[in-house]
Amino acid sequence: MDTTISALSELQELLRSSQHNSAASKKVFVGFDGFVDKIKRAVMEKQNTRTLYFDSIRDFANRILLACGKSGQIQMDTQRVKFGGNAPILADTLGRLGIQTYCLGSMGYPQLHQVFSGMNPRSETISVLNPGQSDAIEFSDGKLIFSELEVFDQYTWEYIIKIAGIEAIHKAISDSTLIAFVDWANLPHASNIWEGMLEDIIKPSKRKDYLFFFDLCDPSKKTTEQIDEVLDLVSSFSCYGKVTLGLNENETLKIYAALRGIDYITDSPGLPPVKQAGDSLYKSMNIDALLVHPVDRCILFHQHEANELNGRLVLKPKVLTGGGDNLNAGYCLGMLLGFSSAQCMLLGMAVSGAYVENGFSADLQGILQYLDIWMAELLQKNELSRQHVFAHRHE
């Protein structure tokens, strides 16, 4: 479904009025990862002082294939070093949008790693472990992330309790309206951590009014049994509040394939469209909503219906790593503000689009300006369409 100017204008007005409501007093708990990200570009060739980078993943892959049986070298240029991990980026973005957060994760221990000192001051860090390390190689059509994950081998719920103390976790959860658990795929004991939070913190609180947000991330290295178990675990949180699961297109199709015993790579031509795969996944779970976000739109499965809205495709992205986390932040902000599901989707795409286009997470004013740009482009598109129809009628 096309996104309308009136829908974006209404969202803009709601955001302006929200600056003065009670949402700023609401808090969010986010866990449990943390990475130092090196954002890189792969060098295709050097021309004196000019550097040409591989533009697409396909071009890069073809270059690697040429090295088969021969070896080879590819220069990587580091564009920037930043804090990473789904939890810190989500918490930081919410902080920039005016929401107080608790972020429990691997951001340096016993001292906070210096790169995380750049997080928004509204984000209170509870760091229990040193961060993982990631090299994110970015292209115009996506990114490849190479991560070192050994630091998480002993990262269990028991370890977190030992370092952070259960009382500190109890307080953070009791203060929070929304709870976000992210990056299940990269933490080997994530299910253990999530189940520990459910049994030792969530259930004893006796609350039934939580807003939960889950993001699994790329499940490629997980077994079908592990995927099936985590989907059941996510569903079990529904007894204590409203549960939303967020997935990108790739993750949705991979989970669909895994649960049906389909080889994602060799049988990919036989996979259904992402909307059909998402619908099947949503119906197999006991959750309030499933948010699926391909690069150009959002699809929300909610109350047994599917709502699809087009986004604004950024043609010249300055950064891709973290785009999904920014979308999640915008969607979560919408939930905290009591927005409709469609408005939450639009806000998520606006927050993500502003980040990808500008290279950093925007504050509320930056989102309002991005919505202005989006509406102006839609207006121009509508004018061109009307001119085309007028010319066609008079040929």
pLDDT over 80 at 385, yes or no: no
> When comparing pLDDT for 24 and 228, which is higher?
228
User: 47 pLDDT band (50/70/90 cuts)?
Assistant: confident
pLDDT for residue 390: 45
Strands 123-127 and 50-53: unpaired
Class of domain 5-39+82-393: alpha beta
Cβ proximity of 243 and 214 under 8 Å: yes
- pLDDT-wise least confident of 50-54, 267-271, 321-325: 267-271
Query: Rounded distance, CA 238 to CA 240, Å?
Result: 5
pLDDT over 70 at 389, yes or no: no
pLDDT for residue 382: 80
In this predicted model, what pLDDT tens digit does every residue of 144-167 receive, in sequence order? 999 999 999 999 999 999 999 999
In this predicted model, what pLDDT tens digit does every residue of 76-114 receive, in sequence order? 999 999 999 999 999 999 999 999 999 999 999 999 999
In this predicted model, what pLDDT tens digit does every residue of 118-154 receive, in sequence order? 999 999 999 999 999 999 999 988 889 999 999 999 9
Query: Rounded distance, CA 117 to CA 345, Å?
Result: 30
Q: How much is the average pLDDT of 265-271?
A: 83
Share of the chain above pLDDT 90, in %: 83
Which residue shows structure tokens 């943390």?
A: 34
pLDDT over 90 at 386, yes or no: no
DSSP string, 2-33: PPPHHHHHHHHHHHHHHTTSGGGG-EEEEES-
pLDDT for residue 21: 63
Query: Rounded distance, CA 37 to CA 94, Å?
Result: 19
DSSP string, 224-282: HHHHHHHHHHHHHGGGGEEEEEEEEHHHHHHHHHHHTT--TTTTGGGSPPHHHHHHHHH
Per the omega criterion (within 30 degrees of 0), is the bond before 204 cis? no
In the chain, the amino acid numbered 29 is: F
pLDDT for residue 304: 87
Q: Which residues contact 111 (CB under 8 A, 6 or more apart)?
A: none
pLDDT for residue 24: 64
Query: Rounded distance, CA 195 to CA 175, Å?
Result: 20
- 3-class secondary structure, 166: helix
pTM of the model: 0.91
